[in-house]
Structure 1
């Protein structure tokens, strides 16, 4: 990663942020606060962090790396845009915001301006600020949510196998979901605790979101057949 720069309205007056890197994001990390809006548009599954092995939730937007099947013909997301996409190229540095000037979202002369002509925050920067706040607060809350799922042994692997019209077969491993069988087998006291904490609403949002997986398969099949880009 390039050396970070603290965001400065004078130094970065002409900076713009682009959504183009969305096209290469096939699994986008989420925090618990995002489950309800994200579940309306994407499958929410769990993956393991490559360095720590810890589970983390994300929106599945493509079936292979560098593929986003949820973009419209204008190359934008029609549905909810997760905070981890909004903040691409931006990071928290103490009480300030830092940027990676070489990040693909910033290293181009297109997109939305970060600053207004008077140096004030433009709408794009306000969205970034909101996304960074959401992640800062939401990451520890989400870790606690996952810890409760694991405590009740509610997480299970999900095997995804696809066969496409061009003969390609695809299998996705190392993804996880929540077991409704395990959930419904919990003692009443444990189920009531999940309900009162708000976890139960999030659990049903996650399990219901898997209905979007066939959409991704159809989109990839159409792309392989040349019917969509």
Structure 2
């Protein structure tokens, strides 16, 4: 299991999760993801409704809210992002939980927090497109397979994801590195590389649950 993440979030993500890249099978578009498990639909950080990590990704915290697009008038061809909610989500109800509006009809503090999260996600989508294009341009993505043997002898394989191609990274010229730095991409690239040390955390958590 995984969730999309964004370059401006990498500093927090890399302290808890491996950062990988996934290629959408339908569109062929790459996007960075925070990895939560070694198997499909497996979240090793979630147990009994408790999230065992110091940072929860934006794309997880935004539920059950979504970014909708709405034209300000009939002649507007450039729609604006608006906050939307999935009313079918089990977290949405009329009897308990956080209020969305105050008594006088204004957005509550909780709603303001959600708006900030959705705004960061909206900006992140735009950043991802530019970031990924630069990685592809410089041949900085490669697929990888992780094979794991747990203490009980069971074997697991993680595949279908991409990582930073370190041979290409180390071969970049000074001008290319300077360009990446000036665009704000160099630090996220190295954070993605460093985050793979968090794979050991996933393996240890998997080992604990198997034991």
Output the TM-score relative to the length of structure 2: 0.85
The answer for the alignment partner of 2:167 in structure 1 is 181
Structure 1 residue 176, shift from structure 2 partner: 0.6
Conserved in 2, the CA contact under 8 Å of 1:90 and 1:98?
yes
Unaligned runs of 5+ in 1: 1-25
The answer for the alignment partner of 1:218 in structure 2 is 204
The answer for the alignment partner of 2:31 in structure 1 is 56
Conserved in 2, the CA contact under 8 Å of 1:161 and 1:170?
yes
Structure 1 residue 38, shift from structure 2 partner: 0.8
| 1:87-125 Cα shifts (integer Å, max 9, x gaps) | 222223325322111124436966544344554433432
The answer for the alignment partner of 1:122 in structure 2 is 108
**Aligned pair in 2 of structure 1 residues 105, 160: CA closer, same or farther (>3 Å)?**
farther
| 1:48-107 Cα shifts (integer Å, max 9, x gaps) | 113212111010011122221123676124322222112222223325322111124436
Distance in 2 between residues matched to 1:112 and 1:58, nearest whole Å: 28
* 2:17 aligned counterpart, secondary structure: coil
**Aligned pair in 2 of structure 1 residues 197, 224: CA closer, same or farther (>3 Å)?**
same
Conserved in 2, the CA contact under 8 Å of 1:39 and 1:208?
yes
Q: Which has the higher strand share?
A: 2
Output the TM-score relative to the length of structure 1: 0.79
* Equivalent residue in structure 2 for 1:36, among 1, 6, 11: 11
**Aligned pair in 2 of structure 1 residues 91, 186: CA closer, same or farther (>3 Å)?**
same
**Aligned pair in 2 of structure 1 residues 115, 161: CA closer, same or farther (>3 Å)?**
farther
Distance in 2 between residues matched to 1:48 and 1:104, nearest whole Å: 30
Instruction: Report how many residues are paired.
Output: 200
* 1:134 aligned counterpart, secondary structure: helix
Distance in 2 between residues matched to 1:110 and 1:48, nearest whole Å: 39
Unaligned runs of 5+ in 2: 71-79
* 1:175 aligned counterpart, secondary structure: strand
* 1:150 aligned counterpart, secondary structure: helix
The answer for the alignment partner of 2:145 in structure 1 is 159
Structure 1 residue 189, shift from structure 2 partner: 1.3
